[in-house]
Amino acid sequence: MANRILQGIFSITNSKRHKVITILGFKFKIGRRITKCGYLFKMLDCILPKNSRKIVFCAFPDFSDNAKEYYEYMKANHSNEYELVWLYTDRKNRNYPFIENKYSANSFKGIMHLLTAKYFVYTGLYLNNLCTLKKHVFLQLWHGMPLKTLGFTEKDIEKKFYDQYQDHAQAGHFFVSSDIFKLSMIASFLMNPSRVHITGQSKTDCILSKRNNAQIREFINYDRYSKVIIYSPTYKEAERNNRRDIDKEFNNIFYCDDYSEYSFYKMLEEKNILLIVKPHPFDEKFYRKYIAAGGLNHPNIKVVYDKDMKENNFYFYEFFQFADLMITDFSSIGIDYLITKKPIIFLSSTAEEYSQKRGLILEDNYNILMPGQKVVTFAELLSAIEDSLTVDSWKTKRLELLPLLYKYFDSKSSERIYEIMKTL
């Protein structure tokens, strides 16, 4: 249907340096990056009919996070009812083998799928400029439940983000895990409360699944170790677009002045602990440089990158089943991990910097959202690890606070999102 309507009113031709888009006889010369010409595609968007059985997905990094898990749910349960299309933003990922119907977000075919789909599922501020907001249903699954400020609550927000945040408020439907995060999303994007739904997050569904257990067990050599700790810090850029001194920052991965590599490695060896380090995607290049210089070179430490996830079709949340403890700072992954009800340590050595420059949800009371031991120094971290793996003195408080962060403790978040999607 859409192709028949396009015939005679729209065409696109290519040369080495530019593209020519013709709409109703009017020619527009544009650069090779066609997504920068959103006004042209918004014109088309007003003409093209929308397929209520087509869903377009997009995420950063590509093929990841809540969008990826919701895609897996739809593929497994509703692929006969819906056409599922993925738009990737990095050309290096075009050969990703585990999703068949995928297109570059900067390609003609990819944009046409976006303009003809009723539903757009995503986890960031992408491609809104190509669409007429009222013509589509935007399902914003986001990256996680925030501890840091977000949207309009951020300090020193850049002007270029204002329009995108306002688009969210007008067109997006957000999905969160509890009342407190519903309130934070409403405040962050000045949204109508009816557009924020308490369903849980798709990515926590896979924590309880067993789909890749055998492969992950082998990947981390699980049977060799007595305990497993996951360390997953957030993006350390406290001030947006601020240049970082990587040599200074990666003096040690915990950002602790009293850090002792000898003491840490000795503890790992004596207790036969595997430390799995998962850097934030933005920080991976810094970790690679740090390791190339000799850091983290120990058999009890395994650094896992997004490339490892893509090559094996793993999702990092599937690793949570094998962990006895998580260490993080104020990353949303800590809140995600708490659905396991297992101990967690919040290493807050850089919290003051974040609070002053980026900002934290609830400001002075952000600790309410962190039901676990809070440590600042390396000595405190070692003590907290010992406690968490033995007596777990925070267990009672952790279980008491969990209902503040989760309404549901099951693997049906994607199912709830789908039921809401059908009504939109």
pLDDT in tens, 298-323: 999 999 998 899 899 998 999 999 99
At position 329, the amino acid (one-letter code) is D
Q: Which residue ranges does the chain devote to CATH 3.40.50.12580? A: 210-405
Q: Determine the longest span between alpha carbons in the chain, in angstroms.
A: 75
The 3-state DSSP class for residue 67 equals: helix
Helix (H) or strand (E) holding 88: strand 83-88
Q: For the segment 248-281, what is each residue's pLDDT rounded down to a tens digit?
A: 556 788 888 899 999 999 999 999 999 999 998 8
pLDDT for residue 65 is more than 60: yes
Distances (CA, A) of 153 to 125, 158, 169, 297, 313: 16, 12, 14, 40, 35
Mean pLDDT of 18-44: 63
As a whole number of angstroms, the distance between CA 405 and CA 401 comes to: 7
As a whole number of angstroms, the distance between CA 247 and CA 239 comes to: 18
Least confident of 82-86, 116-120, 144-148, 166-170: 166-170
Considering the chain, what is the average pLDDT of its residues?
84
Q: Residue 382: name the closest of 250, 262, 287 by CA.
A: 262
List, in sequence order, every beta strand (DSSP E) within 204-254.
Answer: 227-231
Q: Residue 57: name the closest of 89, 32, 95 by CA.
A: 89
Q: Which residue ranges does the chain devote to CATH 3.40.50.11820? A: 37-204+413-421
Q: How many degrees, rounded to 5, is the angle at CA 186 between CA 86 and CA 164?
A: 50
pLDDT for residue 160 is more than 70: no
Helix (H) or strand (E) holding 345: strand 344-347
pLDDT band at 362 (very low <50, low <70, confident <90, very high): low
Q: What is the dihedral of CA 197, 59, 229, 343, to 10 degrees?
A: -10
Range picked from 45-49, 148-152, 234-238, 415-419 for highest mean pLDDT: 415-419
pLDDT for the residue numbered 82: 98
pLDDT band at 30 (very low <50, low <70, confident <90, very high): low
pLDDT band at 141 (very low <50, low <70, confident <90, very high): very high
Q: Encode 229-257: b = buried (16+ Cβ within 10 Å), e = exposed.
A: bbbbbbebbbeeeeeeeeeebbebbbbbe
Mean pLDDT of 409-424: 96
Q: How many degrees, rounded to 5, is the angle at CA 299 between CA 317 and CA 247?
A: 80
End-to-end CA separation in angstroms for the chain: 23
pLDDT for residue 353 is more than 60: no
Q: For the segment 371-380, what is each residue's pLDDT rounded down to a tens digit?
A: 889 899 999 9
Mean pLDDT of 157-162: 68
Mean pLDDT of 169-195: 88
In this structure, which CATH number among 1.10.10.10, 1.10.10.1150, 3.40.640.10, 3.40.50.11820 belongs to the domain 37-204+413-421? 3.40.50.11820
Q: Which residue stretches of 293-370 are H helix?
A: 306-312, 332-337, 351-357
pLDDT for the residue numbered 240: 46
Task: Output the six-digit token pair for 399.
Answer: 């279980």
pLDDT band at 46 (very low <50, low <70, confident <90, very high): confident
Evaluate whether the domain defined by 210-405 bears CATH number 3.40.50.300.
no
The 3-state DSSP class for residue 199 equals: coil
Mean pLDDT of 141-145: 86
